[in-house]
Amino acid sequence: MGLPPIVALEIGTSKVLAIVGEMHEGGNVMITSMGKHPSAGVRKGEIVDLENAGACVRTVLAEAEEMGKVSIRQVHLAISGGHIQSLINRGTVPVQSKDGEITRDDIEQVMDVARAVNLPPERDVMHTICQHFCIDDQEMVIQPEGMEGAKLSLDMLVLHGVRNRLRNTVRVVRSVPVEVQDVAFSGLCSALAVLTPEQKAGGAIVIDLGGGTTDYVAYANNVLAAAGALGIGGDHITNDIALAFNIPISQAETLKGESGSAILDSSSTGQKITLPPEVGFPGRAITLRALHTVMSARVDEVLRMIKKRLISEDILHHVGAGVVLTGGGAHMKGIVALTEKIFGLPCSIGKPRGVSGLVTATEGPEYATCIGMVQYGFKYSLGNRSQGFGSMFKKLFGR
C-alpha cells in the first residue's frame, strides 16, 4: 500500500504556504498541489492574531485541496521564530559490561542522559540531534557499539523554543480545524531540501532569509553543529527603506523588489528613482545608491550576526562547502556577492533536490522549507517510529 500524501504547512511572516507531496516509486517525491496567501496575524514568525492567522491557513489549505483534489485532515508544521535557540549537551555514562564492550543498552542510556538538558521553565525542547560519541578520551567516534571502553559520552544538539509561542502556532492550525502530525524547525527543513550529502560532509551553512526571521543551520565534521534563528527578516529591510525616505510601507516593498540590492554597485552612482505621490506622502526622487546603502546595511548586519555566532561556537573554520541561501530573500540582487564577502566562502542559491511536479514549488528557494518538511514527513513515515523523534532527526540531518 502506498503512503498517503504529506501536507507541509509554513505560517510565515510574509506568506502562509501549504504544499502537498506524494511518494512515487524510487523514493521520488512529487509535488502535486499547493496553496499560498499573504500572511495576516503573524509577526517575526510568531502568532499575534489567532483569528487572522487561522483564516490564512484555511485559505491555503482550501486552495491546495482544490488544486490536488485531496482532503486535508492533518499537516506537518514548520515553525520559526527568533526565540528558537540551540545548545550542545554532553551526556556521560559508565560502560556496564564487565569486559568493557559497549552495547546498544549503553548507547540508549547515554542518549537519554544527553537529552536530559535543564532549560528555563518557559522553554520546550523541539529537537534532539546526535552528534559524536566519545569513548574515554577518544573523541569523534561515529559508531561505538562493539567497541571497548570504561566510559561512553555523547554530544547532543538540542533545539528549544519558548513553549507558549510554539503552542500558539499549533493552536492556529487546530482552530481550522486540522490536526498537526509533526512539528519541525524551519531551518532544518530547508537544509534537508537543498543540501547534498557531499555538502554536509564538507561542512556547509544554510541561511533561510524569510520575511520576519532569518534561520540558519551549520554542518561541520559531518554532523549538524549549530542551528538557530534571528527575529530579523525582509520586513525589517522594508521598514528601513520606508523610514529612510519617508514613504509608505507598500511603496517601500515595491522599491525593494524592483530596484533594491544588497551591495553597493558603482554603476548605480548618479541614478535616480522617481517615486509617485501617495495618500499622505508627497512624490519625490531618491538616488539608487541611497536605496542600496540602506538595504546593504541591514543585510550586512544580519549576516555578520550569524557569522559571529558560528565563530563563537568554533564552527566556521570547519565549513568547506560554503553557504547556501534559501527563502524569499535569496532573490535579492547582490545577496550572493555580499554573503561571499562576509563569510569568505563560496555562496549559492539553494533549490529543492529530489522532487518533481509543480515547477513553481520545485525551483524556488522560497519553497525549500515546505518541501523539506514534505521530505521529512515521508522519511519519518518510512522509518521506525519507535526510535523517537530526536533519533529520527539525527538520521535525517546528521550522518
What is the pLDDT at residue 383? Answer: 57
Rounded CA gap, 94 and 336, in Å?
Answer: 48
Q: Which amino acid is at 299?
A: V
Domain 85-160 CATH class label = alpha beta
Which residues of the chain have a pLDDT value below 50? 1, 384-399
Report CA torsion sign: 299, 301, 302, 303.
positive
Q: What is the pLDDT of residues 289-318, one digit of tens each?
A: 999 999 999 999 999 999 999 999 999 999
Instruction: Give the model confidence (pLDDT) of 362-398 as tens digits.
Output: 788 999 999 999 999 988 766 544 333 443 344 444 4
Rounded Cα distance between 198 and 185, Å, is 23
What pLDDT does residue 277 have?
Answer: 85
- Whether the model clears a pTM of 0.85, i.e. scores above it, the answer is yes
Top-tier CATH class for 196-350: alpha beta
Cα–Cα distance measured from residue 4 to residue 7, given in angstroms and rounded to the nearest whole number:
10
* CB of 31 closer than 8 Å to CB of 15: no
Show me where the domains of the chain are located.
85-160, 196-350
Give the chain as a 3 state SS string. Answer: CCCCCEEEEEECCCEEEEEEEEECHHHCEEEEEEEEEECCCEECCEECCHHHHHHHHHHHHHHHHHHHCCCCCEEEEEECCCCCEEEEEEEEEECCCCCCECCHHHHHHHHHHHHCCCCCCCEEEEEEEEEEEEECCEEEECCCCCCECCEEEEEEEEEEEEHHHHHHHHHHHHCCCCEEEEEEEHHHHHHHHHCCHHHHHHCCEEEEECCCCEEEEEEECCEEEEEEEECCCHHHHHHHHHHHHCCCHHHHHHHHHHHCCCCCCHHHCCCEEEECCECCECCEEEEHHHHHHHHHHHHHHHHHHHHHHHHHCCCHHHCCCCEEEECHHHHCCCHHHHHHHHHCCCEEECCCCCEEECHHHHHCHHHHHHHHHHHHHHHHHHCCHHHCHHHHHHHHHCC
Beta-carbon contacts of 366 under 8 Å, excluding residues fewer than 6 positions away, are 326, 327, 328, 330, 331
Q: Are 178 and 61 in contact (CB under 8 A)?
A: yes
Question: Phi/psi at 276 (nearest 5 deg)?
Answer: -70, 155
Closest CA to 228 of 318, 145, 315: 315
